[in-house]
């Protein structure tokens, strides 16, 4: 659609309306769909006619959400999953088999690191790149490499992947680039347009935005030329050529893993996503102001992308729509001070989530990384004294005041 973000969001997938002219997709809260004759249902199962049979395999409310996300990212197909983790699992398993290698970025989401550890038992090995830069990655690619996976903006270390450069390196080696764009959101970046092959979101975060439903999505750009000798996991689907990945997911792996999105969650996240652009605009403005205010405080070092000395500052204009996103971290000097600051905040809620329209705060080392080693943790940009803030849409004066008072009231001097 040839218009800007918010217009596209509101008038893209929904503009045609639904069966009874509803302006929102009705919640098809059912397990199964009934047919007039066995012949009709046979056609649906044989993919010879469009239709829904069973909600694990397809549901109109979920399909409406998939359509919206596909349009937002500019993909050829989208598959919604029960969670962001289910989406990452299905996407990686669709291109790997026992003996395959994944090249992953450092500083991944904790759950993803745990998943990659789980996959080792199934013979799928992950090699972590010190940085997902073309030179480092080129060194790591070998004949077993099947996919390069990273977070566009890593949470919470805030490193940014140079998608155009990295995808060039990946494609030269015949390997697809999968990007988890949860923290960037479609408002900041369009990974598929920048050259990535598959984009994944945990819709639980910014896309839902209100903290009301877990969900995930895999969106295929449909441009990657699969070499079916290399990607044997997709060989059975080679007649679909560039669509082999999404067809395998839809008709085989995703369906069999059973990680479908619940219709009510699709509805909640669909309506939540209506305001994605508005929320992100406000969230980014607040985060920028809060980061700059905190950077003035004694004994606090702030990590936020729009700060001039941030190592990835240049990507804000280049890749991120001029915005820094909703996550900032700061180091408080000690774990004790970090805890004291967190405990004395009035508005920021202590919660293990990001992307809510309420400001959330957490001490990652003692929660999200409690099962990680020190080296793993530090590679993720998490130290004993790190505080992570997921900035919300409150009035920025109140947020700044809240954090300022907490920081000033909690010195390390006694």
CA separation (Å) from 59 to 53, 279, 343, 384? 8, 28, 43, 45
3-state secondary structure of 203: coil
**Among 61, 100, 145, 183, contact with ligand PLP (rule: CB under 6 A):** 183
Q: From CA 241, how far away is CA 263, in angstroms rounded? A: 31
Q: From CA 79, how far away is CA 67, in angstroms rounded? A: 9
Candidate ranges 82-90, 237-245, 294-302, 307-315; the one touching ligand PLP (CB under 6 A): 82-90
Instruction: Return the closest-CA partner of residue 363 out of 392, 332, 394.
Output: 332
Give least dist CB 353 to ligand PLP, A: 8
Residue 76 · residue 222 · CB < 8 Å = yes
Give least dist CB 8 to ligand PLP, A: 24
By CB under 6 A, is residue 196 in contact with ligand PLP? no
- Work out the number of other CB atoms within 10 angstroms of the CB of residue 51: 14
- Residue closer to ligand PLP by CB (options 14, 202) is 202
Binding residues with ligand PLP: total (CB under 6 A): 17
| DSSP letters for 282-344 | HHHHHHHHHHHHHHTSTT-EEE-TTSTT-TTTTHHHHHSTT---SEEEEE-SSHHHHHHHHHH
- Residue closer to ligand PLP by CB (options 183, 372) is 183
Give least dist CB 157 to ligand PLP, A: 11
- Residue closer to ligand PLP by CB (options 338, 354) is 354
Question: How wide is the angle at C-alpha 232 spanned by C-alphas 226 and 234, nearest 5°?
Answer: 60
Give least dist CB 156 to ligand PLP, A: 9
Provide the 8-state DSSP code for 231. -
Site for ligand PLP in 120-159 (CB under 6 A): 151, 155
Candidate ranges 77-85, 130-138, 158-166, 264-272; the one touching ligand PLP (CB under 6 A): 77-85
Provide the 8-state DSSP code for 178. E
Q: Annotate 206-220 with b (16+ C-beta within 10 A) or e (fewer).
A: bbbbebebbbbbbbb
Give least dist CB 213 to ligand PLP, A: 9
Q: Which residue is nearest to ligand PLP (CB)?
A: 84
Q: From CA 60, how far away is CA 25, in angstroms rounded? A: 8
Give least dist CB 23 to ligand PLP, A: 27
Give least dist CB 194 to ligand PLP, A: 17
By CB under 6 A, is residue 329 in contact with ligand PLP? no
**Among 51, 111, 134, 210, contact with ligand PLP (rule: CB under 6 A):** 111
**Among 59, 67, 83, 386, contact with ligand PLP (rule: CB under 6 A):** 83
- Residue closer to ligand PLP by CB (options 237, 270) is 270
- Residue closer to ligand PLP by CB (options 14, 82) is 82
Q: From CA 219, how far away is CA 217, in angstroms rounded? A: 6
Name 413's Cβ contacts closer than 8 Å, sequence gap at least 6. Answer: none
**Among 219, 354, 357, 360, contact with ligand PLP (rule: CB under 6 A):** 354
Name 20's Cβ contacts closer than 8 Å, sequence gap at least 6. Answer: 26
By CB under 6 A, is residue 205 in contact with ligand PLP? yes
- Residue closer to ligand PLP by CB (options 157, 183) is 183
Token pair 């073309």 in the structure block, residue: 134
- Residue closer to ligand PLP by CB (options 246, 368) is 368
Q: Residue numbers of the site for ligand PLP (CB under 6 A)? A: 83-85, 109, 111-112, 151, 155, 180, 182-183, 202, 204-205, 214, 216, 354
């Amino acid at each position: 659609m040839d218009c800007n973000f918010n217009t596209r969001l509101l008038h893209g997938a929904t503009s045609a309306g639904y069966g009874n002219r509803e302006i929102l997709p009705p919640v098809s809260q059912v397990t199964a769909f009934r047919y007039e004759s066995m012949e009709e249902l046979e056609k649906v199962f044989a993919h010879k006619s469009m239709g829904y049979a069973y909600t694990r395999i397809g549901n109109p409310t979920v399909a409406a959400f998939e359509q919206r996300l596909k349009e937002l990212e500019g993909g050829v197909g989208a598959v919604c999953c029960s969670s962001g983790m289910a989406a990452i699992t299905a996407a990686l398993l669709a291109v790997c088999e026992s003996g395959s290698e994944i090249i992953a970025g450092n500083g991944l989401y904790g759950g993803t690191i745990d998943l990659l550890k789980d996959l080792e038992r199934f013979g799928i090995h992950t090699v972590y790149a010190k940085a997902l830069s073309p030179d480092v990655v080129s060194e790591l690619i070998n004949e077993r490499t099947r996919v390069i996976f990273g977070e566009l903006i890593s949470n919470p270390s805030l490193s940014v992947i140079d998608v155009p450069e990295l995808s060039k390196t990946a494609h030269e080696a015949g390997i697809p680039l999968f990007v988890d764009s949860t923290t960037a959101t479609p408002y900041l970046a369009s990974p598929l347009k920048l050259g990535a092959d598959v984009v994944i979101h945990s819709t639980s975060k910014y896309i839902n935005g209100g903290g009301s439903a877990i969900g995930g999505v895999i969106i295929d750009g449909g441009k990657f030329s699969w070499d079916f000798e290399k990607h044997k996991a997709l060989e059975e689907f080679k007649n679909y050529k560039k669509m082999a990945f999404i067809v395998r997911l839809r008709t085989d792996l995703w369906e069999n893993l059973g990680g479908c999105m619940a219709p009510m969650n699709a509805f909640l996240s669909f309506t939540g996503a209506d305001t994605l652009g508005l929320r992100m605009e406000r969230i980014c403005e607040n985060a920028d102001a809060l980061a700059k205010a905190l950077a003035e405080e004694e004994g606090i070092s702030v990590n936020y992308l729009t700060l001039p000395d941030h190592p990835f500052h240049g990507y804000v204009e280049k890749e991120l729509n001029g915005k820094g996103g909703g996550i900032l971290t700061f180091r408080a000097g000690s774990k004790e001070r970090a805890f004291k600051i967190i405990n004395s905040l009035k508005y920021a809620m202590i919660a293990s989530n990001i992307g809510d329209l309420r400001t959330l705060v957490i001490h990652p080392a003692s929660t999200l990384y409690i099962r990680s080693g020190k080296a793993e943790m530090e590679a993720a940009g998490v130290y004993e004294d790190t505080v992570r803030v997921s900035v919300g849409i409150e009035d920025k004066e109140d947020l700044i005041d809240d954090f300022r008072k907490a920081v000033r009231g909690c010195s390390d001097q006694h």
